Amino acid sequence: MQRSYSRLLGIIGKPNTGKSTFFSAATLAAAEIANYPFTTIKPNRGVGYVRTQCVHEEFKVKDTPRNSICLDGSRLAPVELIDIAGIVPGAWEGRGLGNQFLDEICRADALIHIVDASGGTDCEGKSCKIGEHDPVEDVQFLEREITMWMVSILKKDWSRIARTAEADKKGIAQHLEDRLNSLNIKRVYVNEAIRKADLNVDKPATWTDEDFYRFVDNLRRLAKPLLIVANKVDLPYAQENVERIKKLEYIVIPASAEAELALRRAAEKKLIEYKPGDKDFKIIQPEKLSSGQIQGLESIREKILKTKASTGVQEALNTVYFKMLDMITVYPVEDVEHLTDHNGRVLPDVYLVPRGTTARQFAYIIHSELGDSFIYAIDARDKRRIGEDSILKDRDVISIVSAKKRA
């Protein structure tokens, strides 16, 4: 399978918050989707999809997708998700599955934190009376766990690192980037975190423990962006807790992962018409549903879809990739007149790439040889030539002209 260029999204949360249900819902494909060769190998990995409007309607052509799916004008591009081991207080010290949890966070480019908005899961991840636990504490404890874990990594040999940085010409940012290499943290995040913490880059040995924690906490927010999914939003106390969580200055998506999973399972069996993220569904085989099942579906419509406009699962995925990671969609073709690849497939692929990607960088994303031999690109909309440093826009359709292609 040829994957679109993407980032890895980690799904985290305590036991019993609905984390596994969210992961199952996000990675369960309806029949039309499941027939495509998008499968994963590892048990805690899965393929979800971001949903965007397909360009085929604008160009008035019938597309034949290869690395993605087009359903009723919506292009579903695959993204990889990792179901991160349940976290409990003290994970950064190795408690529970702490080491596994933190190792998996290393790989993720962004995180979705599933919290039980109803307050029915205590700090240890055990079920309790609805409204008894404060979900705001769950967000704050996760912040502390990740920050303290990063502090523990950086604090090792800190005195030596600080002295070396003051003595050589590399600077503290370079030394910190080297130390954090395994966490996939770039120097641009290190520099910005230092700036936000208002620290003296020339005298890192003078940083206090409070300075150090403030720097790392800023670094965590920058390098591992976090979205909060306030799950079980249909239960009592949930809505008022959602408003309180929003005050923590995170993006918060109210959700019912259980409702989304039920809708996707019904769609998979062709009992209803429903695409991930739809505001409603249509029952198409009522004779195959029991009265209880129909009542359950109607309850989802009334309690979730009519009040929240969606179950929140697809909205969460789209928000992470398109807003937080600021990615765009680009469609590569070989023939700009017919919008086809070399096999005649129309608009076969869509790639998710970071905003600001240039034409040549995009060529490298497709294939290293295409990037090495890049000459220019052609915009399929106006047939205009664009150079290697031209910045691509969302929903661009372009053809890469290379020396290799001409040979």
Query: C-alpha distances in angstroms, 59 versus 263, 366, 380, 395?
Result: 32, 23, 10, 12
Coil/strand/helix, residue 255: coil
Work out the burial of residue 271: count CB atoms within 10 Å of its CB; fewer than 13 is exposed, 13-18 middle, 19 or more buried.
buried
What's the predicted TM-score (pTM) here?
A: 0.91
Domain ranges across the chain: 9-143+226-322, 158-215, 330-406
Read off the pLDDT of residues 107-159 as tens digits, 9 standing for 90 and up.
899 999 999 999 999 988 889 999 999 999 999 988 888 898 888 888 888 99
CATH architecture of the domain covering 9-143+226-322: 3-Layer(aba) Sandwich (3.40)
Helices (H), 98-186: 98-107, 135-155, 158-167, 172-179
Residues of the chain with pLDDT under 50: 1-4, 30-41, 407
The predicted structure's pLDDT at residue 42:
53
Query: Yes or no: is domain 330-406 CATH 3.10.20.30?
Result: yes
The predicted structure's pLDDT at residue 405:
62
The predicted structure's pLDDT at residue 103:
73
